[in-house]
Structure 1
Amino acid sequence: MKQTRLPDKPDAKSPAGADIRFIMDGPTGNMIHSTVPVGQTNRATRHKTVHEFWYVLAGSGQIWRSDHACQTVVDLETGVSIDIPAGTAFQYRNTGDSVLQFICISMPPWPGDEEADFVDGPWEATVGGN
């Protein structure tokens, strides 16, 4: 059994450009806390093998997701959950006036930044990856 506390400072940056804090990991997945500053648009990516679930804690933004069947833009607001199946292209941005914060659960555990391929998205990114 494990117990953790949210770190005061980010542990790393995601390949897309979000600040991340590692919260929990195990054999079937891991969990991080992500933050996106006001005005930031992250790089569009596609994960090769990892599925993600997100839960928005605070702030507001948008996420674009696209797979072989459809594409959509969803407003990210407190209380909203979304999924990102493996192979889905996605890009997200903070459209509000406060930090966008969300919990992200990856299954299987995040294998490393080589998991993410950069793709074309609908918005111009304001940051790079790592």
Structure 2
Amino acid sequence: MAADFGTLRIADAIEVTAPDGATVRPLCSLPGTASSAQFELGPQQVSKAVSHANVEEIWFIAAGAGEMWRRQYGREEVTVLEPGVCLTIPLGTAFQFRAGSGGLRAFAVTIPPWPDDPDEARSETGPW
């Protein structure tokens, strides 16, 4: 059975707050495969540090600037975020991000789709 075509304009997407505190606009998804969303932080805002129980993500920075901290299996790094940067958040990675003075906007794909489960995002201790 073929999936329906999905089309959504960002202006028509609902706005919700992610477990990490970022503003999120859920976008199109492919049931059982992946979902997508736009994430935003206002100027100088910092997300809560979290890890995911079941999903992985690929992020692409669309606008603004900031930093992303990631920790997994004893290694950690801070990546400078600016338009054009693409990064991954593998399963089980603790991460936290913060925006610079102009805010931050990213597009992300979640694999598998983001579940309707309050325990998906687990609280972690981050650097900020």
User: Normalised by the size of structure 2, how large is the TM-score?
Assistant: 0.90
Unaligned 5+ segments in structure 2 are: none
Match of 1:65 among 59, 62, 70: 70
Superposed displacement of residue 7, structure 1: 2.7
SS at match of 2:44: coil
Q: Distance in 2 between matches of 1:114 and 1:7?
A: 29
Match of 2:46 among 41, 45, 56: 41
Q: Distance in 2 between matches of 1:61 and 1:8?
A: 26
| Structure (1 or 2) with the greater strand fraction | 2
* Higher RCO by CA contacts (8 Å cutoff, separation 6 or greater): 1
Between the aligned residues of both structures, percent identity stands at: 34
Unaligned 5+ segments in structure 1 are: 124-130
Q: Is the 8 A contact 2:13 2:26 kept in 1?
A: no
Q: CA RMSD in A?
A: 1.3
Superposed CA deviations along residues 16-40 of structure 1, whole A, max 9, x for unmatched, are 0110111111120100011100011
Q: Distance in 1 between matches of 2:51 and 2:30?
A: 23
Query: Structure 1 residue 55 and structure 2 residue 78: aligned?
Result: no
Superposed CA deviations along residues 52-77 of structure 1, whole A, max 9, x for unmatched, are 00000000000000000410000010
Q: Is the 8 A contact 2:40 2:106 kept in 1?
A: yes
Question: 1:126 corresponds to which residue?
Answer: none
Q: Distance in 2 between matches of 1:9 and 1:3?
A: 11
Question: 1:92 corresponds to which residue?
Answer: 97
Q: Distance in 1 between matches of 2:84 and 2:77?
A: 19
Match of 1:104 among 108, 112, 117: 108
Match of 2:8 among 4, 21, 44: 4
Change (3 A) 1:8 1:61: farther
SS at match of 1:114: coil
SS at match of 1:7: helix
Q: Distance in 1 between matches of 2:113 and 2:78?
A: 26
User: Normalised by the size of structure 1, how large is the TM-score?
Assistant: 0.89
Q: How many residues align?
A: 122
Q: In structure 1, give the amino acid aligned to 2:104.
A: L
Q: In structure 1, give the amino acid aligned to 2:54.
A: T
SS at match of 2:119: helix
